[in-house]
């Protein structure tokens, strides 16, 4: 399969990177075996594998050849390429795609290298790290655009700027969010902003088990603990491994609150509203319709910067529906499944619906708004 085609597959793709060291962080995994890692990443579900072939990262063409001999997964050769000869070397050593850095290349040279890549049956990942470079990538009609959160001059990571650029990229381009991703929530943030794939290197190389770390980053469903009102409950949800923290900003709700608590980098915050909403600084907004005589309507939408990114399929307020899971099974959008989920039934619901995320609130409480910590932990574990 071609590199670009692998990134077009449904869901969030992952490009797993093999690099022994980083100029900013020093040694990461100096003993890395490219063949073993490439095989493991393929098995864990990587869409492609990136191999550093520059000596500043402890890499070389031998690493690319070793990875190529070990797996059929598409390989991205990463280096500072600027000539036709560089691309020929990449192809000869087993690459399916090459990195082109707009920071180092003018538009004419990039266009010539893109044409050379096509002639060599290579895809090109054209990398931008700021708005001007993104505009250039769009203007030259790059098929695959990488948006790097790391400024290669200062090595500073700016995830917010990255997400804003990802969101501005044209939807007809394949977009890869690069650098600064070490948790499922950070990957999900890139996904909801519009990224087709994430490129992860340092987080994998630092992990005790890089293959297991990759599988964790791209696994679904995400887990949301909602109805949080206290810092100690949020801390337990985070420690248990929840990805989304929900805060219900609805006065009539028995688990309502008037603030969105700060969440750790491993999580995304979600503010929950009915009928209308005010921006309270949450990463995402969950908006239910108002329904007379009830605290909320049945279903909700999940919004990012005012744009719908998922549907929340819930039960009617304080009612049951025996067809709830069958109804969710028939939905083909990105689904957040809610409705009296708890440790006892969440696995059955996941197996039946295969949602993007699961959402629990009342079944994790010892009283309204106060979480039962053991049930929170059990819910997250069962949903994994």
Between CA 137 and CA 145 the distance in angstroms is 7
Nearest to 232 by CA among 39, 85, 49, 369: 369
Exposed, middle or buried, 90 (CB in 10 Å: 0-12/13-18/19+)? buried
Exposed, middle or buried, 23 (CB in 10 Å: 0-12/13-18/19+)? exposed
Query: Which residue in the list 22, 47, 50, 127 is annotated as catalytic?
Result: 127
Q: In this structure, are residues 309 and 192 in contact, taking their beta carbons and an 8 Å threshold? A: yes
Q: Is 127 a catalytic residue?
A: yes
The phi-psi region of residue 370 (left if phi > 0; otherwise alpha if psi is between -120 and 50; otherwise beta) is: beta
Q: Is 93 a catalytic residue?
A: no
Q: Is 178 a catalytic residue?
A: yes
Query: Which residue in the list 50, 93, 148, 271 is annotated as catalytic?
Result: 148
Query: Which residue in the list 19, 213, 224, 371 is annotated as catalytic?
Result: 19
* Beta pairing partners, 304: 307
Between CA 210 and CA 201 the distance in angstroms is 10
The two structure tokens encoding residue 363: 């079944």
Q: Is 320 a catalytic residue?
A: no
Query: Which residue in the list 133, 178, 191, 365 is annotated as catalytic?
Result: 178
Q: Is 55 a catalytic residue?
A: no
Between CA 261 and CA 263 the distance in angstroms is 6
Q: In this structure, are residues 269 and 253 in contact, taking their beta carbons and an 8 Å threshold? A: no
Query: Which residue in the list 47, 179, 253, 271 is annotated as catalytic?
Result: 179
Provide the annotated active-site residues: 17, 19, 78, 127, 148, 178-179
């Amino acid at each position: 399969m071609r590199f670009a085609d692998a990134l077009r597959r449904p869901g969030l793709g992952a490009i797993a990177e093999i690099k022994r060291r980083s100029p900013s962080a020093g040694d990461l995994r100096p003993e890395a075996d490219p063949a073993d890692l490439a095989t493991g990443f393929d098995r864990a579900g990587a869409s492609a594998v990136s191999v550093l072939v520059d000596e500043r990262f402890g890499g070389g063409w031998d690493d690319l050849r070793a990875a190529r001999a070990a797996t059929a997964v598409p390989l991205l050769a990463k280096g500072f390429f600027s000539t036709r000869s560089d691309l020929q070397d990449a192809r000869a050593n087993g690459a399916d795609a090459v990195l082109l850095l707009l920071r180092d290349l003018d538009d004419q040279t990039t266009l010539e290298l893109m044409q050379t890549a096509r002639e060599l049956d290579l895809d090109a990942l054209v990398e931008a790290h700021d708005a001007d470079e993104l505009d250039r990538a769009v203007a030259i009609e790059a098929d695959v655009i990488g948006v790097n959160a790391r400024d290669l001059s200062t090595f500073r990571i700016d995830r917010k700027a990255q997400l804003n650029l990802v969101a501005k990229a044209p939807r007809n381009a394949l977009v890869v969010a690069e650098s600064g991703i070490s948790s499922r929530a950070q990957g999900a943030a890139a996904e909801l902003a519009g990224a087709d794939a994430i490129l992860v290197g340092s987080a994998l190389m630092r992990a005790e088990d890089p293959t297991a770390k990759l599988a964790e980053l791209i696994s679904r469903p995400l887990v949301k603990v909602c109805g949080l009102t206290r810092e100690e409950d949020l801390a337990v949800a985070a420690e248990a491994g929840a990805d989304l923290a929900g805060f219900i900003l609805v006065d009539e709700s028995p688990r309502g609150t008037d603030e969105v608590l700060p969440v750790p980098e491993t999580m995304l915050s979600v503010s929950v509203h009915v009928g209308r909403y005010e921006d309270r600084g949450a990463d995402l907004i969950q908006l239910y319709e108002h329904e007379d005589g009830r605290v909320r309507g049945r279903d909700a939408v999940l919004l990012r910067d005012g744009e719908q990114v998922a549907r929340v399929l819930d039960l009617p307020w304080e009612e049951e529906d025996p067809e709830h899971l069958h109804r969710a099974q028939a939905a083909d959008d990105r689904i957040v499944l809610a409705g009296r989920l708890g440790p006892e039934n969440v696995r059955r619901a996941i197996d039946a619906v295969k949602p993007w995320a699961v959402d629990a609130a009342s079944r994790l409480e010892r009283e309204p708004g106060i979480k039962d910590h053991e049930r929170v932990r059990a819910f997250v574990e069962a949903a994994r």
